[in-house]
Structure 1
Amino acid sequence: MGIKKRLGMGVASAMLGAALVGGGTYAYFSDTEVTANTFAAGTLDLSINPTSIINVNNIKPGDSFIRDFELGNNGSLPIAKVLLDTDYTVTDAKGDNTEDFGEHIRVDFLYNVNKFDEVIYSTTLAELKNMSPEVVDKNIFYPMFGEEGLPVGSTDDLIVKFAFVDNGEDQNQFQGDALNLTWTFTAQQKPGEQR
């Protein structure tokens, strides 16, 4: 081994020894604190009472039915919007329908003011089925709830009038038919906020 290598190894050994001695004598103050944090998600819980809105038999053109049901917020977060999705199926008793029975069922959403029912929005089941849930919220629920939405613990009545419209024409094709309506209500939260 040459002198340069021995000299280099000696310098490296000396530096390692100094580092070990210096590392052993280095001292500092320290303090540790532990925090406990919780993220608890809120809940959206829209309730509907009664869950069966309408169940009638033997209807004829010109008949109408007013039904009142309650939308409630049983969750821990305010409900900003309520979206309504409409679907239905028609059972054609005689197989002779040339039109959709849903086009002949008018739906009036009513706002009850001092026992006087005022129409908020009027449409047919067929139109409602093809309508975006956002449009329904804008035209029906926003006029009812306003900017506040449906606060936690609150309820609001939704009054609906269904009418089998008598159009003054032959509607015999609908005799014995049945229409099964499904309404799906979806609650949406208010936008998140800095807290």
Structure 2
Amino acid sequence: MTIKKKLGVGMASAVLGLSLIGGGTFAAFNDTATVNNHFASGTLKLSVGSNEGNKPNNFDISNMKPGDSVQRKYRLENAGTILIENIFMTVKAKEYSNNDSGATLEEFLNQFEITLYNVHSKNDGEYNDKNSLIKENTSVTLKDLVKGDLSGKIKGRYMTEGKVNLAPIGISNNSRSSTSKGNTLVIMIKFKEDSSKTDNGEFYQNKFMNNTVNFDINFEATQ
């Protein structure tokens, strides 16, 4: 952007008036100034890393059976240059196979109970209702997370616009955030145990044997 500033215009007009009367010549003074500007957009970047040493940060589990559970710990960090206001977590399921058992995707996802914990140095290892993101006496399944059916199930401070918001957990080691100091997010997934049987005497969960599904956990940072 260039800004030009003309000086001496009033003087030139005065001299012009005299020249018309006196028949002489005149000269106008001129001056310019340039303001150089620069705009650069910042970087909004959320880093989600494992907080368990060499363990992977994804869930890639085979041969799970009812009663089995697995957990992962995550550290949220601002790796960009712009303040982070919200961290939304959503889940998307894909590539489901029921091994010709007749089970539906929603039925299979409903077999996995999800628990989310906000763990910090003072309560590390203590996973209980107090530091859970889920309301007491409430169950959340993988199906609920995929469908976004979370009304009345997640504690109010962790919900924004109908989505799970991890901002209260905080972002570690970076002042470019409106969230508190970073803690650890723990995601625990348990394969439910159901002893109910069908009319022919088989366990209801038999139809989930050799079922497979891929699912993505998405973390969206917004300013």
Normalising to structure 1: TM-score of the pair? 0.72
Measured after TM superposition, the shift of residue 178 of structure 1 is 1.0
SS in 2 for 1:34: coil
Q: Is 2:169 the counterpart of 1:144? A: yes
For the structure 1 residues 32 and 61, does the alpha-carbon distance in structure 2 shift closer, same or farther, using more than 3 Å as the test? same
Q: Contact 2:76 / 2:170 at 8 angstroms: preserved in 1?
A: no
- 1:97-176 matches, within 5 Å, as 97=103, 100-113=107-120, 114-115=123-124, 116-117=126-127, 118-121=131-134, 123-131=140-148, 134-138=161-165, 141-145=166-170, 151-152=175-176, 156-169=183-196, 170-176=204-210
In the TM superposition, what whole-angstrom CA distance separates every residue of 1:90-123 from its partner, at most 9, and x where no partner exists?
Answer: 2101332156211111111111142212311252
For the structure 1 residues 95 and 167, does the alpha-carbon distance in structure 2 shift closer, same or farther, using more than 3 Å as the test? closer
Runs of 4+ with >6 A deviation = none
In the TM superposition, what whole-angstrom CA distance separates every residue of 1:129-181 from its partner, at most 9, and x where no partner exists?
Answer: 1118843334xx133139xxx74398553210001111332211101111211
1:94 — aligned with what?
A: 100
SS in 2 for 1:171: helix
Distance 1:136 1:107 in 2: 15
Question: Which residue type is aligned with residue 44 of structure 1?
Answer: L
1:4 — aligned with what?
A: none
- CA RMSD, aligned part only? 3.0
Measured after TM superposition, the shift of residue 88 of structure 1 is 0.9
Normalising to structure 2: TM-score of the pair? 0.63
Distance 1:41 1:71 in 2: 23
Question: Which residue type is aligned with residue 162 of structure 1?
Answer: I
* Fraction of identical pairs, as percent: 27
Measured after TM superposition, the shift of residue 184 of structure 1 is 2.1
Any stretches of 5+ residues in structure 1 without a counterpart? 1-17, 190-195
Distance 2:36 2:93 in 1: 51
Q: Contact 2:69 / 2:189 at 8 angstroms: preserved in 1?
A: yes
Question: Which residue type is aligned with residue 43 of structure 1?
Answer: T
1:185 — aligned with what?
A: 219
- Greater mean deviation of Cα atoms: 128-137 or 49-58: 128-137
Number of matched pairs: 166
1:7 — aligned with what?
A: none
More helix as a share of residues:
1
Distance 2:216 2:222 in 1: 19
Q: Contact 2:93 / 2:216 at 8 angstroms: preserved in 1?
A: yes
Q: Which has the larger radius of gyration?
A: 1
Any stretches of 5+ residues in structure 2 without a counterpart? 1-15, 51-55, 150-159, 197-203
**Which has the higher relative contact order, 1 or 2, with Cα contacts under 8 A spaced 6 or more apart?**
1
Measured after TM superposition, the shift of residue 28 of structure 1 is 3.6
SS in 1 for 2:167: helix
Distance 2:89 2:209 in 1: 29
Distance 2:45 2:32 in 1: 42
Q: Contact 2:119 / 2:183 at 8 angstroms: preserved in 1?
A: no
- 1:76-91 matches, within 5 Å, as 76-89=81-94, 90-91=96-97
Question: Which residue type is aligned with residue 146 of structure 2?
Answer: K
